[in-house]
Chain A
């Protein structure tokens, strides 16, 4: 599995992609500096709101989308999936290797700059830092699994993934109560709110559920990816 993970991670991490995604995550540092410089007296809550409104809503899903959808998507597009598919490796190992590569590449790009932003904005408040690190990690795991499957199954996964982020996560899950239960963003927000001991709009109730659902969604998506690898036709 490690050989598959290494190959996919190297394919995912093109220079242009890394710089663009670091720029997206790095925006949170600019926002945090603005919060710290503003001295509003409520830097903690402002920082948590920024993490919710930008990091969990934009940075984490977009970074996970770009990297995870490329894991198999790039190989399908350029015709090199055949070199992995035609080896006597259980399909779940290919899927798991790609999932590890996706989470392993997305986590540092999302969690490090955004957690640093939480530290700067909140005046190095340990609660804000831990809550941010946990919430962004949960979000990346859920999104990475989901977009890994999308990248294998659908051509132009980036466009469909962005549509999912905008329509489902950004609109439907906020307006429809049942949909919130299936929203990775809502669960990640819940983790943030619970660990930061603050109130945020539209977050679900149980902390354990908020941790578990994105992980389960990610795992189910990886299992689906393995199944689709068995049945897909390879060019």
Chain B
């Protein structure tokens, strides 16, 4: 599952990193390295993705372990901030200024030559109008998200850290933004994108880190992780007028690996949902059983991540 990276390739390196908030463990003993290109950080809400991203930008200090970005401590060495572009998860932007002022402010503080020109280019990259006279409070959620990306891009950083950057974007904007991130990665930058949407991550590229419950659950090529997710047992609730007869037929057909029978329904485990769906209608018809419902019980990301960390 893992694809070890030599330290010479590592742009970002976390070694035994934990983060506690009082008695709450937000991140527990996480180690990984990230090199140039696009890496997706995947996990359900509350998995610790944002905390990891804050630590690798220096916004938060690890309770244990070390974080290195370009070989430097992002908290102890403010000079490294010149090489970081962050799109934070929160929607908030300074409400009272225009998009151009916001992005140009970032350019000025990062000592970019011709900050207003750089800000214009950056805003055009995310398909917004640099001459929009409205203050940012008038921007829609999608526009705010894109102006945050423009502000993160404006100083041409070597490392881009994007925390749920596609939130609030419509499908067309999502595609355009993914193209921007991919182009940045292909240009040699290190781009880290977090998401809790599985299908979204698939489009980012092949390398993923999966987090669940504050731990690194899996790391490596997306296709291998996807296969692992597809191979896991799936659980469904089947409603019928005769659960016992239906269960007997399904077991005989080899469509299920486990069955729990109730009065009007049963819960089954299967490793191949598509084959099971074909089998259940055939078995029900031949046994004269009337199906009332077929409901997946674990078709959410939480269950995928639970499976990856070893317990259902």
A→B interface (CB under 8 Å):
3-4, 7, 10-11, 78-80, 82-91, 233-235
Q: Which stretch of B106-114, B248-256, B272-280 is in the interface?
A: B106-114
User: With A and B bound together, what is the CA distance between A80 and B81 in angstroms?
Assistant: 17
* Contact partners of A87 in chain B: CB under 8 A: 81, 106, 109-110
B108 adjacent to A3 (CB under 8 Å): yes
User: With A and B bound together, what is the CA distance between A85 and B74 in angstroms?
Assistant: 12
Known interface pairs A7-B105, A88-B110. Does A83 touch B94 (Cβ–Cβ under 8 Å)? yes
Contact of A79 among B78, B82, B90 (CB under 8 A): B90
* Contact partners of B79 in chain A: CB under 8 A: 88
Interface string of B68-92 (1 = CB under 8 A from A): 0000000000110110101010101
User: With A and B bound together, what is the CA distance between A85 and B61 in angstroms?
Assistant: 14
A78 adjacent to B84 (CB under 8 Å): no
B109 adjacent to A10 (CB under 8 Å): no
* Contact partners of A80 in chain B: CB under 8 A: 92-94
User: With A and B bound together, what is the CA distance between A79 and B90 in angstroms?
Assistant: 7
Q: Determine how close the nearest CB of chain B comes to the CB of A4; give it in whole angstroms.
A: 7
Apart from A87-B81, A235-B59, 17 more pairs, CB < 8 Å: A3-B105, A7-B97, A78-B95, A79-B88, A80-B92, A82-B90, A86-B57, A86-B59, A87-B109, A88-B78, A88-B79, A89-B109, A233-B59, A234-B54, A234-B60, A235-B54, A235-B90
B106 adjacent to A83 (CB under 8 Å): yes
Interface string of B147-158 (1 = CB under 8 A from A): 000010000000
Query: What residue of chain A has the Cβ atom nearest to residue B78's Cβ?
Result: A88
* Contact partners of B61 in chain A: CB under 8 A: 233
Interface footprint category on B: 20 to 34
Q: 3 tightest CB-CB pairs across the interface, nearest first?
A: A87-B109, A79-B90, A88-B82
CB of B297 within 8 Å of the partner chain: no
Contact of A11 among B59, B84, B86, B96 (CB under 8 A): B96
Known interface pairs A3-B108, A233-B61. Does A83 touch B151 (Cβ–Cβ under 8 Å)? yes
Q: Determine how close the nearest CB of chain B comes to the CB of A151; give it in whole angstroms.
A: 16
* Contact partners of A235 in chain B: CB under 8 A: 54, 59, 90
Q: Determine how close the nearest CB of chain B comes to the CB of A123; give it in whole angstroms.
A: 42
User: With A and B bound together, what is the CA distance between A91 and B77 in angstroms?
Assistant: 12
* Contact partners of A82 in chain B: CB under 8 A: 59, 86, 88, 90
Query: What residue of chain A has the Cβ atom nearest to residue B105's Cβ?
Result: A3
User: With A and B bound together, what is the CA distance between A78 and B136 in angstroms?
Assistant: 14
User: With A and B bound together, what is the CA distance between A90 and B86 in angstroms?
Assistant: 18
Taking each of A85, A89, A233, which has the highest tally of chain B beta carbons within 10 Å of its own beta carbon? Answer: A233
Known interface pairs A87-B109, A89-B109. Does A7 touch B86 (Cβ–Cβ under 8 Å)? no
Q: Determine how close the nearest CB of chain A comes to the CB of B80; give it in whole angstroms.
A: 8
Taking each of A78, A80, A86, which has the highest tally of chain B beta carbons within 10 Å of its own beta carbon? Answer: A86
* Contact partners of A89 in chain B: CB under 8 A: 78, 109
User: With A and B bound together, what is the CA distance between A3 and B116 in angstroms?
Assistant: 13
A86 adjacent to B84 (CB under 8 Å): yes
Interface string of B102-129 (1 = CB under 8 A from A): 1001101111000000000000000000
Query: What residue of chain A has the Cβ atom nearest to residue B83's Cβ?
Result: A88
* Contact partners of A233 in chain B: CB under 8 A: 54, 59-61
Known interface pairs A87-B81, A87-B110, A233-B61. Does A10 touch B92 (Cβ–Cβ under 8 Å)? no
* Contact partners of B81 in chain A: CB under 8 A: 86-88
Known interface pairs A3-B108, A4-B109, A83-B151. Does A10 touch B59 (Cβ–Cβ under 8 Å)? no
Q: Determine how close the nearest CB of chain B comes to the CB of A59; give it in whole angstroms.
A: 25
A3 adjacent to B109 (CB under 8 Å): yes
User: With A and B bound together, what is the CA distance between A225 and B37 in angstroms?
Assistant: 38
B97 adjacent to A10 (CB under 8 Å): yes
Known interface pairs A7-B97, A79-B90. Does A88 touch B59 (Cβ–Cβ under 8 Å)? no
Query: What residue of chain B has the Cβ atom nearest to residue A233's Cβ?
Result: B60
Q: List 19 A-B contacts (CB under 8 A).
A: A7-B94, A10-B94, A11-B94, A79-B90, A82-B59, A83-B102, A83-B106, A83-B151, A84-B109, A86-B58, A87-B81, A87-B110, A88-B111, A89-B78, A91-B78, A233-B59, A233-B61, A234-B54, A234-B60
Q: Determine how close the nearest CB of chain B comes to the CB of A228; give it in whole angstroms.
A: 14
User: With A and B bound together, what is the CA distance between A3 and B92 in angstroms?
Assistant: 19
A10 adjacent to B151 (CB under 8 Å): no
* Contact partners of A7 in chain B: CB under 8 A: 94, 97, 105
User: With A and B bound together, what is the CA distance between A87 and B152 in angstroms?
Assistant: 10
Query: What residue of chain B has the Cβ atom nearest to residue A85's Cβ?
Result: B59
User: With A and B bound together, what is the CA distance between A233 and B57 in angstroms?
Assistant: 11
* Contact partners of B111 in chain A: CB under 8 A: 88
* Contact partners of B88 in chain A: CB under 8 A: 79, 82
User: With A and B bound together, what is the CA distance between A90 and B79 in angstroms?
Assistant: 9
User: With A and B bound together, what is the CA distance between A85 and B60 in angstroms?
Assistant: 12
User: With A and B bound together, what is the CA distance between A233 and B74 in angstroms?
Assistant: 12
Query: What residue of chain A has the Cβ atom nearest to residue B161's Cβ?
Result: A86
User: With A and B bound together, what is the CA distance between A4 and B96 in angstroms?
Assistant: 14
Query: What residue of chain A has the Cβ atom nearest to residue B77's Cβ?
Result: A88
* Contact partners of A4 in chain B: CB under 8 A: 109
* Contact partners of A10 in chain B: CB under 8 A: 94, 96-97
